[in-house]
Amino acid sequence: EYLNNLLEKLASKDSVTVDTLTKDIHMLPDFHGNRSPLGDHTLRGMISGLDLNNGEEQLAVIYLATLQALAYGAQHIIEVLQEKGYKKFESILICGGLSKNKLFVKTLANVTSITVLIPHQSESVLLGSAMLGATAAKAFSDLKTAIHSMAGNADIVHP
């Protein structure tokens, strides 16, 4: 939250939007290889545009570049899936730690131009597993029916 607030202050001070603070810093986040969509463990990440500034403002901008890089990585996965014949995504359901970061969620929505849903369930991954199990046990005719029956509410973030 501290870095998100600092980014807002920096943007306000420079009369720009937060997302443009990284105009000179770019990141490729594959520091441990790429799992998807390339599946290449030999890839390595990088940050370009660094200078010798090591203050908290620079740290905040690198943090923002990281969030943006993760969102663009998700966009790359979505593009490859659609090239392979998957239909257009109507929404992205996000869970886990990053789902609690409002700046990341908004960045993901903006980069992908897809509405992001943040489930109210604290253990949405477990709920998804329960949906799969219930479908396998024939409690529901198909996964879509299980989802509609078992899923709860979600916060909606539009691009």
Judge: domain 1-86, CATH 3.40.50.300. Answer: no
User: Which residues of the chain are in CATH 1.20.58.2240 domains?
Assistant: 1-86
Cα 132 to Cα 25: distance, rounded to the nearest angstrom:
42
List residues bridging with 155 in a β-sheet: 118
| CA distance to 16, 44, 99, 107, 128, per residue, from 72 (Å) | 21, 16, 16, 9, 25
Give tens-digit pLDDT for 42-96: 999 999 999 998 899 999 999 999 999 999 999 999 999 999 999 999 999 999 8
pTM reported for the whole predicted model: 0.87
